Chains A and B, each alone.
Chain A
Amino acid sequence: MISQALEEEKDILKKIKDPALRDSGFNLLVKAYQQRLYWHIRKMVIDHDDADDLLQEVFIKVWKNIDKFREDSNLFTWLFKIATNECLNFLKRKKSRFHIPLEGPNKELYARLDSGPYISGSEIQIKLQKALLRLPDKQRLVFNMKYFEDMKYEDISKITDTSIGSLKASYHLAVKKIEEYINLD
Protein backbone atom coordinates (compact mmCIF):
# COMPACT_ATOMS: atom_id res chain seq x y z
CA MET A 1 0.00 0.00 0.00
CA ILE A 2 2.82 2.37 1.02
CA SER A 3 4.92 1.40 -1.99
CA GLN A 4 1.89 1.96 -4.23
CA ALA A 5 1.53 5.51 -2.85
CA LEU A 6 5.25 6.11 -3.37
CA GLU A 7 5.02 4.84 -6.93
CA GLU A 8 2.12 7.23 -7.54
CA GLU A 9 4.17 10.12 -6.11
CA LYS A 10 7.10 9.23 -8.36
CA ASP A 11 4.87 9.04 -11.40
CA ILE A 12 3.31 12.45 -10.63
CA LEU A 13 6.70 14.08 -10.09
CA LYS A 14 8.10 12.54 -13.29
CA LYS A 15 5.23 14.05 -15.26
CA ILE A 16 5.58 17.45 -13.60
CA LYS A 17 9.30 17.57 -14.44
CA ASP A 18 8.51 16.96 -18.11
CA PRO A 19 7.47 20.34 -19.64
CA ALA A 20 5.13 18.59 -22.08
CA LEU A 21 3.30 16.77 -19.27
CA ARG A 22 3.59 19.39 -16.53
CA ASP A 23 -0.08 20.44 -16.59
CA SER A 24 -1.46 16.93 -16.55
CA GLY A 25 1.03 15.91 -13.86
CA PHE A 26 -0.05 18.82 -11.67
CA ASN A 27 -3.68 17.91 -12.26
CA LEU A 28 -2.95 14.39 -11.02
CA LEU A 29 -1.26 15.82 -7.94
CA VAL A 30 -4.31 18.00 -7.18
CA LYS A 31 -6.71 15.09 -7.60
CA ALA A 32 -4.55 12.78 -5.48
CA TYR A 33 -4.17 15.14 -2.52
CA GLN A 34 -7.04 17.66 -2.59
CA GLN A 35 -9.32 15.77 -0.22
CA ARG A 36 -6.75 14.97 2.47
CA LEU A 37 -5.40 18.54 2.36
CA TYR A 38 -8.89 20.03 2.41
CA TRP A 39 -9.94 18.09 5.52
CA HIS A 40 -6.64 18.91 7.19
CA ILE A 41 -7.24 22.63 6.56
CA ARG A 42 -10.98 22.55 7.23
CA LYS A 43 -10.61 21.08 10.73
CA MET A 44 -8.30 23.94 11.58
CA VAL A 45 -10.21 26.89 10.06
CA ILE A 46 -13.75 25.43 10.52
CA ASP A 47 -15.35 27.54 7.78
CA HIS A 48 -15.74 25.99 4.31
CA ASP A 49 -15.04 29.19 2.34
CA ASP A 50 -11.85 29.85 4.30
CA ALA A 51 -10.75 26.25 3.78
CA ASP A 52 -11.49 26.53 0.05
CA ASP A 53 -9.42 29.73 -0.24
CA LEU A 54 -6.54 28.25 1.68
CA LEU A 55 -6.59 25.02 -0.32
CA GLN A 56 -6.27 27.06 -3.51
CA GLU A 57 -3.42 29.09 -1.99
CA VAL A 58 -1.63 25.88 -1.01
CA PHE A 59 -1.84 24.46 -4.53
CA ILE A 60 -0.78 27.78 -6.08
CA LYS A 61 2.32 27.72 -3.84
CA VAL A 62 2.94 24.12 -4.86
CA TRP A 63 2.59 25.05 -8.55
CA LYS A 64 5.08 27.91 -8.16
CA ASN A 65 7.60 25.97 -6.10
CA ILE A 66 7.38 22.42 -7.41
CA ASP A 67 10.75 22.84 -9.17
CA LYS A 68 12.36 23.49 -5.80
CA PHE A 69 10.96 20.26 -4.36
CA ARG A 70 13.79 17.82 -3.63
CA GLU A 71 12.93 14.33 -4.81
CA ASP A 72 14.65 12.71 -1.84
CA SER A 73 11.97 14.17 0.43
CA ASN A 74 8.41 12.97 0.65
CA LEU A 75 5.80 14.77 -1.46
CA PHE A 76 3.01 14.04 1.02
CA THR A 77 5.04 15.54 3.90
CA TRP A 78 5.97 18.58 1.81
CA LEU A 79 2.34 19.26 0.85
CA PHE A 80 1.13 18.90 4.42
CA LYS A 81 3.90 21.18 5.63
CA ILE A 82 2.77 23.92 3.22
CA ALA A 83 -0.89 23.43 4.20
CA THR A 84 -0.03 23.49 7.90
CA ASN A 85 1.95 26.71 7.58
CA GLU A 86 -0.86 28.32 5.59
CA CYS A 87 -3.38 27.34 8.28
CA LEU A 88 -1.30 28.59 11.20
CA ASN A 89 -0.53 31.89 9.45
CA PHE A 90 -4.19 32.34 8.52
CA LEU A 91 -5.35 31.75 12.11
CA LYS A 92 -2.69 34.14 13.42
CA ARG A 93 -3.75 36.85 10.95
CA LYS A 94 -7.40 36.29 11.81
CA LYS A 95 -6.81 36.56 15.55
CA SER A 96 -4.85 39.73 15.07
CA ARG A 97 -7.55 41.21 12.79
CA PHE A 98 -10.31 40.48 15.32
CA HIS A 99 -8.09 41.46 18.28
CA ILE A 100 -8.38 37.97 19.77
CA PRO A 101 -5.59 37.02 22.22
CA LEU A 102 -3.27 34.58 20.43
CA GLU A 103 -3.46 32.06 23.25
CA GLY A 104 -7.15 32.41 24.08
CA PRO A 105 -10.12 30.44 22.72
CA ASN A 106 -11.28 31.58 19.32
CA LYS A 107 -14.87 32.71 19.96
CA GLU A 108 -15.44 33.64 16.35
CA LEU A 109 -14.88 29.98 15.38
CA TYR A 110 -17.12 28.83 18.27
CA ALA A 111 -20.01 30.72 16.68
CA ARG A 112 -19.35 29.08 13.32
CA LEU A 113 -19.65 25.65 14.90
CA ASP A 114 -23.15 26.56 16.12
CA SER A 115 -24.52 28.23 13.04
CA GLY A 116 -22.06 27.88 10.14
CA PRO A 117 -23.09 26.24 6.88
CA TYR A 118 -21.80 22.76 5.97
CA ILE A 119 -21.53 21.65 9.58
CA SER A 120 -23.73 18.93 10.97
CA GLY A 121 -23.03 16.76 13.97
CA SER A 122 -24.44 15.55 17.26
CA GLU A 123 -24.32 17.77 20.31
CA ILE A 124 -21.38 15.92 21.78
CA GLN A 125 -19.45 16.06 18.49
CA ILE A 126 -19.92 19.84 18.36
CA LYS A 127 -18.84 20.01 22.00
CA LEU A 128 -15.70 18.07 21.11
CA GLN A 129 -14.90 20.61 18.38
CA LYS A 130 -15.45 23.44 20.87
CA ALA A 131 -13.10 21.72 23.29
CA LEU A 132 -10.53 21.59 20.49
CA LEU A 133 -10.88 25.32 19.91
CA ARG A 134 -9.73 25.89 23.49
CA LEU A 135 -6.38 24.29 22.67
CA PRO A 136 -3.48 26.33 21.28
CA ASP A 137 -3.55 26.09 17.45
CA LYS A 138 -0.42 23.95 17.23
CA GLN A 139 -1.70 21.49 19.81
CA ARG A 140 -5.07 21.32 18.01
CA LEU A 141 -3.20 20.61 14.79
CA VAL A 142 -1.28 17.73 16.37
CA PHE A 143 -4.46 16.35 17.90
CA ASN A 144 -6.32 16.49 14.56
CA MET A 145 -3.53 14.76 12.69
CA LYS A 146 -3.26 11.97 15.25
CA TYR A 147 -6.89 11.49 16.26
CA PHE A 148 -8.91 12.26 13.12
CA GLU A 149 -6.38 11.71 10.35
CA ASP A 150 -4.73 8.74 12.08
CA MET A 151 -1.26 9.84 11.04
CA LYS A 152 1.93 8.33 12.39
CA TYR A 153 3.98 10.36 14.85
CA GLU A 154 6.93 10.02 12.45
CA ASP A 155 4.99 11.82 9.71
CA ILE A 156 3.60 14.47 12.09
CA SER A 157 7.13 15.02 13.34
CA LYS A 158 8.38 15.73 9.79
CA ILE A 159 5.47 18.04 9.04
CA THR A 160 5.70 20.06 12.23
CA ASP A 161 9.49 19.83 12.76
CA THR A 162 8.81 18.67 16.31
CA SER A 163 10.30 15.68 18.11
CA ILE A 164 8.17 12.56 18.49
CA GLY A 165 8.49 12.80 22.29
CA SER A 166 7.07 16.32 22.32
CA LEU A 167 4.24 15.28 20.00
CA LYS A 168 3.26 12.37 22.24
CA ALA A 169 3.27 14.66 25.27
CA SER A 170 1.25 17.28 23.39
CA TYR A 171 -1.36 14.69 22.29
CA HIS A 172 -1.64 13.19 25.75
CA LEU A 173 -2.15 16.60 27.31
CA ALA A 174 -4.70 17.55 24.62
CA VAL A 175 -6.79 14.43 25.35
CA LYS A 176 -6.75 15.27 29.05
CA LYS A 177 -7.89 18.87 28.46
CA ILE A 178 -10.61 17.76 26.02
CA GLU A 179 -12.03 15.16 28.39
CA GLU A 180 -12.06 17.73 31.19
CA TYR A 181 -14.03 20.14 29.01
CA ILE A 182 -16.58 17.64 27.66
CA ASN A 183 -17.30 16.41 31.20
CA LEU A 184 -18.15 19.92 32.41
CA ASP A 185 -21.85 20.48 33.40
Chain B
Amino acid sequence: MKLEDIHKDNIFKVPDNYFEDFPDRLHKRIAEKEAVRPTPVIRMRTLINIAAAAVILFFVIYGISLLSTRSSSAERILSNISSEELINYLVESDMSTDELLESLDISIIASIDDPLTDELISSDPIDDETIDDLIDEYEIEMEYL
Protein backbone atom coordinates (compact mmCIF):
# COMPACT_ATOMS: atom_id res chain seq x y z
CA MET B 1 0.00 0.00 0.00
CA LYS B 2 1.24 3.51 -0.85
CA LEU B 3 0.70 6.65 1.19
CA GLU B 4 -1.51 8.20 -1.49
CA ASP B 5 -3.94 5.24 -1.16
CA ILE B 6 -4.96 6.49 2.28
CA HIS B 7 -7.67 9.14 2.48
CA LYS B 8 -6.20 12.36 3.83
CA ASP B 9 -9.21 13.05 6.10
CA ASN B 10 -8.62 14.68 9.45
CA ILE B 11 -9.22 12.04 12.12
CA PHE B 12 -8.98 14.58 14.94
CA LYS B 13 -12.14 16.26 16.14
CA VAL B 14 -12.93 19.13 18.50
CA PRO B 15 -15.81 19.66 20.97
CA ASP B 16 -18.85 21.51 19.64
CA ASN B 17 -18.34 25.28 19.27
CA TYR B 18 -14.69 24.94 20.25
CA PHE B 19 -13.39 27.55 17.79
CA GLU B 20 -16.35 29.86 18.39
CA ASP B 21 -15.67 29.87 22.14
CA PHE B 22 -11.89 29.88 22.03
CA PRO B 23 -11.30 33.67 21.67
CA ASP B 24 -13.44 34.38 24.77
CA ARG B 25 -11.68 31.73 26.86
CA LEU B 26 -8.32 33.06 25.75
CA HIS B 27 -9.33 36.62 26.56
CA LYS B 28 -10.34 35.54 30.09
CA ARG B 29 -7.06 33.67 30.62
CA ILE B 30 -5.02 36.69 29.51
CA ALA B 31 -7.07 38.94 31.81
CA GLU B 32 -6.43 36.53 34.72
CA LYS B 33 -2.71 36.43 33.98
CA GLU B 34 -2.52 40.21 33.84
CA ALA B 35 -4.48 40.51 37.08
CA VAL B 36 -1.87 38.44 38.92
CA ARG B 37 1.12 40.16 37.30
CA PRO B 38 2.26 41.84 40.56
CA THR B 39 2.65 38.40 42.19
CA PRO B 40 6.11 37.64 40.77
CA VAL B 41 7.31 41.00 42.13
CA ILE B 42 6.14 39.96 45.60
CA ARG B 43 7.89 36.64 45.07
CA MET B 44 11.03 38.59 44.25
CA ARG B 45 10.85 40.32 47.64
CA THR B 46 13.46 38.03 49.15
CA LEU B 47 15.91 38.69 46.36
CA ILE B 48 15.27 42.41 46.55
CA ASN B 49 15.82 42.35 50.33
CA ILE B 50 19.14 40.58 49.87
CA ALA B 51 20.19 43.09 47.21
CA ALA B 52 19.06 46.02 49.40
CA ALA B 53 20.99 44.65 52.40
CA ALA B 54 24.11 44.31 50.24
CA VAL B 55 23.80 47.91 49.01
CA ILE B 56 23.19 49.22 52.54
CA LEU B 57 26.14 47.24 53.85
CA PHE B 58 28.27 48.75 51.13
CA PHE B 59 27.18 52.28 52.05
CA VAL B 60 27.74 51.67 55.76
CA ILE B 61 31.27 50.35 55.24
CA TYR B 62 32.10 52.86 52.53
CA GLY B 63 30.73 55.79 54.56
CA ILE B 64 32.57 54.71 57.68
CA SER B 65 35.85 54.29 55.85
CA LEU B 66 35.54 57.75 54.28
CA LEU B 67 34.55 59.42 57.52
CA SER B 68 37.30 57.67 59.41
CA THR B 69 39.71 60.26 58.08
CA ARG B 70 37.81 62.84 60.12
CA SER B 71 38.64 63.46 63.76
CA SER B 72 36.14 61.41 65.71
CA SER B 73 37.54 58.96 68.20
CA ALA B 74 34.72 56.43 67.64
CA GLU B 75 35.23 56.60 63.92
CA ARG B 76 39.01 56.31 64.40
CA ILE B 77 38.42 53.11 66.33
CA LEU B 78 36.02 51.82 63.66
CA SER B 79 38.53 52.64 60.96
CA ASN B 80 40.91 50.19 62.53
CA ILE B 81 38.37 47.40 62.08
CA SER B 82 38.66 45.58 58.76
CA SER B 83 35.75 45.45 56.31
CA GLU B 84 35.62 41.66 56.66
CA GLU B 85 35.18 41.94 60.43
CA LEU B 86 32.39 44.50 59.97
CA ILE B 87 30.64 42.30 57.40
CA ASN B 88 30.92 39.30 59.73
CA TYR B 89 29.53 41.35 62.60
CA LEU B 90 26.53 42.54 60.56
CA VAL B 91 25.85 39.06 59.18
CA GLU B 92 26.00 37.47 62.65
CA SER B 93 23.99 40.24 64.28
CA ASP B 94 20.80 38.98 62.55
CA MET B 95 19.79 42.52 61.72
CA SER B 96 16.92 42.64 59.24
CA THR B 97 16.99 44.86 56.17
CA ASP B 98 14.46 47.17 57.83
CA GLU B 99 16.64 47.52 60.93
CA LEU B 100 19.67 48.23 58.79
CA LEU B 101 17.68 50.88 56.93
CA GLU B 102 16.58 52.48 60.22
CA SER B 103 20.09 52.54 61.61
CA LEU B 104 21.57 54.00 58.47
CA ASP B 105 22.02 57.74 58.46
CA ILE B 106 21.16 58.75 54.91
CA SER B 107 23.02 62.04 55.39
CA ILE B 108 26.27 60.04 55.50
CA ILE B 109 25.58 58.74 52.02
CA ALA B 110 24.47 62.16 50.79
CA SER B 111 27.65 63.73 52.14
CA ILE B 112 29.86 61.33 50.20
CA ASP B 113 31.13 63.13 47.15
CA ASP B 114 32.18 60.26 45.01
CA PRO B 115 31.41 59.29 41.41
CA LEU B 116 30.95 55.61 42.32
CA THR B 117 28.29 56.49 44.90
CA ASP B 118 26.52 58.77 42.42
CA GLU B 119 26.48 55.99 39.89
CA LEU B 120 25.01 53.53 42.42
CA ILE B 121 22.33 55.97 43.51
CA SER B 122 21.35 57.00 39.99
CA SER B 123 21.48 53.59 38.32
CA ASP B 124 18.10 52.55 36.88
CA PRO B 125 16.32 49.83 38.82
CA ILE B 126 15.01 46.78 36.97
CA ASP B 127 11.40 47.40 36.05
CA ASP B 128 8.60 44.99 36.95
CA GLU B 129 8.10 43.79 33.41
CA THR B 130 11.75 42.85 33.02
CA ILE B 131 11.56 40.88 36.27
CA ASP B 132 8.40 39.10 35.01
CA ASP B 133 10.08 38.26 31.71
CA LEU B 134 13.14 36.91 33.53
CA ILE B 135 10.92 34.76 35.73
CA ASP B 136 9.05 33.45 32.69
CA GLU B 137 12.25 32.85 30.75
CA TYR B 138 14.04 30.96 33.47
CA GLU B 139 10.85 29.55 35.04
CA ILE B 140 12.00 30.73 38.44
CA GLU B 141 9.91 29.18 41.14
CA MET B 142 10.00 31.29 44.30
CA GLU B 143 8.79 29.81 47.53
CA TYR B 144 7.18 33.04 48.70
CA LEU B 145 3.89 34.20 47.24
Contact = CB atoms under 8 A, between A and B. Distances in A.
A39 B10 contact: yes
A39 B12 contact: yes
B23 to A, nearest CB: 5
Contacts of B22: 30, 34, 38, 55
A179 B12 contact: no
A124 B8 CA distance: 11
A175 B1 CA distance: 12
Contacts, number: 69
A104 to B, nearest CB: 23
B7 interface: yes
B19 A121 contact: no
A34 B18 CA distance: 11
A148 B8 contact: yes
B36 interface: no
Interface in A132-185: 147-148, 175, 178-179, 182-183
Interface stretch (B24-32, B64-72, B76-84, B89-97): B24-32
A98 to B, nearest CB: 20
A15 to B, nearest CB: 15
Interface string B1-39: 111001111111111001100110111011001000000
Interface size class of A (residues with CB under 8 A): 20 to 34
A interface, by DSSP: helix, strand, loop or mixed? Answer: helix
A125 B11 contact: yes
A119 B13 contact: yes
Nearest to A43: B12
B11 A120 contact: yes
A42 interface: yes
Contacts of A39: 10, 12
Contacts of B15: 48, 118
Given A122-B7, A124-B1, A148-B10, 18 more contacts: A30-B23, A31-B23, A34-B19, A35-B19, A38-B19, A48-B15, A55-B22, A118-B15, A120-B13, A121-B11, A124-B6, A125-B6, A147-B3, A147-B8, A179-B3, A182-B1, A182-B6, A183-B1
Interface of B: 1-3, 6-15, 18-19, 22-23, 25-27, 29-30, 33
27 contacts: A27-B27, A30-B22, A31-B23, A34-B23, A38-B19, A42-B12, A46-B12, A48-B12, A55-B22, A56-B25, A59-B26, A60-B26, A60-B29, A118-B12, A119-B12, A120-B13, A124-B1, A125-B6, A125-B7, A125-B9, A125-B11, A126-B11, A128-B3, A129-B11, A148-B10, A175-B3, A178-B3
